[in-house]
Structure 1
Amino acid sequence: MTTRKKLKIINDPIYGFITVPNKLIFELIEHRFFQRLRRISQMGMSYLVYPGAHHTRFHHALGAMFLMEKAVRVLRSKNTEISTTEEDALYIAILLHDIGHGPFSHAMEHSIVENISHEQISLWMMEELNKEFKGALTVAIKIFKNEYPRKFLHQLVSGQLDMDRLDYLRRDSFYTGVSEGAVNSERLIAMLYVKDDALMVEEKGIYSVEKFIVARRLMYWQVYLHKTSLVAEQLLVKMLKRAKYLSDKGAEVPASTALSYFLRNHVSAQDFSAEILDTFATLDDYDIVSAMKTWVHHEDFVLSELSKMLLNRDLLKIKLKKKPIPKEKMEEKRSEVMEKYNLTHEEVTYFVFEGLIENQAYDMKKDTINLITKTGKVIDVAKASDQLNIEALSKKVVKYYLCYPKAH
């Protein structure tokens, strides 16, 4: 095949033109592992609530890399030494931080692979790419795993004020139309500072940090934990679990080659060989959507109903409460539904279930956001804040939910 002309500039709706910094980054973007992210939605099932939320992990990874370039420039201008090797490693680490996400972003982790996080799969993919690129990703992997001696580099990739969060809040806000999440990423990056190997923010950036923490809280309640997105995500997980259960029982569950492999096999962290990783790397949203369209006609009532609900956006009813759902309330609902649809005890658990959601905008105990004053004093933003009580936002809020079929 002919060699493609090198693509140097990408037009992004949020930041305008993004320049690919070097040949290695370009080759990683071109790699099939990374190109697959074009087919993985950034926000799972949120498009059922916000029709514009069809952007992908591909968009987000490039955006986060663009912000990392800005952060490197800012920190160098403030006399923080970052070598060319470290700079390239930061770009690689942030570009590939989400490469291990499965279809619809989080559904796979809770259904057809056994307790394997996307971070773990991202790491395996990076290690596989490192073999292919003859060790060029070694420093990036150390930064990603927080094993590199300069700790602030890891904070730029994964911390309270990392480039990942600064991009996804702004990007998700843009595509959903929820303006409350529009953080001023440029100003926040301009205020970054490194002291004693720790990332912090200049004191004059306090209001931008406050806005960032509030934006995060609002985006979680209004978008990421929106009750309709929540019930859709749960139905997706249950549909995949049902398909796996039926496959285990020997039933025929038509699906693509990659999806069939994960439905038929129990894959744990110990089993994840290079071959399995290769199969995983061919799996994306389209496998799930196409399977769902076939499963609508499946003879199993549960699989068929769950698929119909998702395809036609005819979801379960969901009620949010401040206290745990009483056991008798759930049993009562289950009995009603079992009788109405002639279901077994096991089958009804797919249609009547409970759970909880948590939201903590700022964790004061873990990885705090510190401010540095003109005199060099370091203070936690929650202690310095006069505008809003950040301490109140650091309290974990828990809500409980109950899902059950609507009365048709």
Structure 2
Amino acid sequence: MEQSKKNKRKIFNDPVLGFISISDDLLFDLLEHPYFQRLKRISQTGLSNYVYPGSTHTRFLHALGSTHLMQLALQVLKDKGVIISKEEERAVVTAILLHDIGHGPFSHALESTLMEGMHHEKVSITFMNLLNKEFNGELQLAIDIFLDQYPRKFFHQLISGQIDLDRLDYLRRDSFFTGVSEGNVNSERIITMMNVVNDELVIEAKGIYSIEKYLTSRLFMYWQVYFHKTSMTAEFYLIEALKRAKLLTKKGVDLPASGILKYFLNKSDYSNLTVEDINKFAQLDDSDILSALKIWQNHEDKILSILSKVIIQRNLPYSRITSQPISASELKKLQKKAADFYQVEDGSYFVHQNKLSIIAYEDEKDPIRLVLKNGTVIELQDMDNQVFIKDLKRKISRYHFCIPRGLESL
């Protein structure tokens, strides 16, 4: 008989943050759970590796890193006299560990495509509820904190806010693996500046420039990595390939794919998310999609074949990001040209325009608060010595456009 594991104290060697310790039995059991292990097979940054070859890190690594930063933050707050019970500490660390457990293949790239209209946070909370039943209610406080239903607001702010541990990890991690140094934030410095006033998260005023650097780094990462024209084009074609596959399946075409992927190709109504849906989703990862695309390259449906070849062979179309969009009528003309070019019935699979927008600092939705030496709390934008905040509050919008090569000059 196989002996049960007794050592639940583990240390992971993370290339970004160094040694990460797991010293709680519940955390270890959650790490070992198949729901969580799946994240090792989910790309953190979609198809960004089509532009930055080193960007092959996973959601698993990000979840571990966020957990480590949460442990550091809680220790900083306790050292400053913030009373945090063992139950609260375990719950908020559990919540950050599981905050992205609902991501599907290629993370945001295929969100709401495989399970139409389903945001990853809703899937995450569904996973958490199932785990809570499995672990006899031990995750209930973590769920309350995750949903911002716990009265001590700073716990939720550490998970989801303008300076949360999620962002402090993914900016630094994505910067490291892409090699884009502009995104490298000093997460430890920001964490040491954290404090709590009236159960809300604040930053000590002397950390103002670290905060401004963090906000500008996030802005640069969006335009240089997350909104990169080439990776966005690859992700658009990936989405279109899955949409085409779902349409063909609906028409009765039996596409070659794994049994798990076939389940999602055949189903379209997720208004009532079932336990079967979630358990099937827990078995789905990047490999199911890539394996199918490799096969679909040679499918008799020309649209599916072309889309699959573009992704697998990285034979990407022309793309650009501009400040002004092309008109709807012009877009339709170009889609018609693409249909004629490929001799297919629908060119909208190949010509695409999408609006991209980012606000580095949303002061109205979730203002960052600083605490002065005299204990006064002031919002970041009201500080006299801030440098970039007024510019960072401005919404920046651009338009991503892609079209098959050879048609871009038409």
Q: 1:69 aligns with which of 68, 71, 75?
A: 71
Aligned amino acid, residue 189 of structure 2: R
Q: Secondary structure at the match of 1:356?
A: strand
**Which deviates the most, 63-72 or 354-363?**
354-363
Residue identity in the other structure for 1:366: K
**Contact 1:382–1:389 (CA<8 Å) still a contact in 2?**
no
Aligned equivalent of 1:114? 116
What secondary structure sits across from 1:269 in the alignment?
coil
| Greater shift in the superposed pair: 275-284 or 109-118 | 109-118
Cα deviation digits, residues 128-179 of structure 1 (max 9, x gap): 0000000000000000000011111100011111100000000000000001
Cα distance in 2 for residues equivalent to 1:98 and 1:120: 10
When the two chains are superposed, the root-mean-square deviation of aligned CA atoms in Å is 1.3
Partner of 1:277 in structure 2? 278
Is the contact between residue 152 and residue 198 of structure 1 (CA under 8 Å) also seen in structure 2? yes
User: Could you tell me whether the CA contact under 8 Å between 2:9 and 2:23 is conserved in 1?
Assistant: no
Report the equivalent of 1:255.
257
Q: Aligned to 1:6, what secondary structure does the other structure show?
A: coil
The alpha-carbon deviation at position 318 of structure 1 amounts to 1.4
What letter corresponds to residue 176 of structure 1 in structure 2?
A: T
Q: CA deviation at 1:387?
A: 5.1
Deviation at residue 400 of structure 1 after TM alignment: 1.4
1:57 to 59, 71, 87: 59
Are the aligned partners of 1:114 and 1:269 in contact in 2 as well (CA < 8 Å)?
no
Q: CA deviation at 1:279?
A: 0.5
Correspondence 1:137-216 to 2 at 5 A: 137-216=139-218
Which amino acid in the other structure matches residue 316 of structure 1?
P
Corresponding residue of 2:320: 319
Q: In structure 1, what residue type is equivalent to 2:36?
A: F
Residue 266 of structure 1 corresponds to 268
Q: Tell me by how many angstroms 1:322 deviates.
A: 1.2
The reply on whether 1:36 has 2:35 as its aligned counterpart is: no
Q: Indicate how the Cα distance of structure 1 residues 194 and 387 shifts in structure 2: closer, same or farther if over 3 A, else same.
A: closer
Matched, 1:240 2:239: no
**Contact 1:111-1:238 within 8 A present in 2 as well:** no
CA shift, 1:21, in A, is 2.5
- Which stretch has the larger CA shift, 361-370 or 52-61? 361-370
Paired residues of 1:43 and 1:104 also in contact (CA < 8 A):
yes
More displaced, 354-363 or 92-101? Answer: 354-363
The alpha carbon displacement at 1:252 in A equals 1.6
Distance 1:386 1:400 in 2: 34
Query: Following TM superposition, by how much is the alpha carbon of 1:386 offset from its aligned partner in structure 2, in angstroms?
Result: 3.4
Q: In structure 1, list runs of 5 or more residues that go unmatched.
A: none
Aligned to 2:334: 333
SS at match of 1:398: strand
Question: What residue in structure 2 maps to residue 361 of structure 1?
Answer: 360
**Contact 1:10 1:17 (C-alpha < 8 Å) held by counterparts:** yes
Pair 1:390-2:386 in alignment? no
Report the AA paired with residue 379 of structure 1.
Answer: I
1:36–1:284 CA contact under 8 A, matched in 2: yes
Give the Å deviation of 1:341: 1.9
State the TM-score, normalized to the length of structure 1.
Answer: 0.97
Q: Is contact 2:8–2:23 with CA below 8 Å preserved after alignment?
A: no
SS of the counterpart of 1:10? strand
1:372 match = 371
In 1: Cα distance, 2:241 partner to 2:375 partner: 55
Task: Report the more deviating stretch, 383-392 or 202-211.
Answer: 383-392
**Cα deviation digits, residues 52-89 of structure 1 (max 9, x gap):** 00000000000000000010001111111110000000
Q: Give the match for residue 399 of structure 1.
A: 398
> Which stretch of the first structure deviates more once superposed, 279-288 or 389-398?
389-398
Residues 363, 393 of structure 2: 8 Å contact kept: yes
What displacement does 1:109 show? 2.1
Measure, in 2, the Cα distance between the counterparts of 1:327 and 1:121. Answer: 34
CA distance in 1, matches of 2:216, 2:156: 24
State percent identity of aligned pairs: 49
Whole-angstrom CA distance in 2 between matches of 1:359 and 1:127:
32
Query: CA separation in 2, counterparts of 1:394 and 1:21?
Result: 40
The one-letter code of the counterpart of 2:398 is K
Unaligned runs of 5+ in 2: none
1:110 partner SS: coil
Contact residue 9 and residue 24 of structure 2 kept, 8 A: no
- Aligned equivalents of 1:176, 1:263: Cα separation in 2: 32
Find the aligned partners of 1:205 and 1:380 in 2 and give their Cα distance.
13
Structure 1 Cα separation of the partners of residues 340 and 19 of structure 2: 59
Question: Aligned letter for 1:191?
Answer: M
Q: TM-score, normalised by structure 2?
A: 0.96
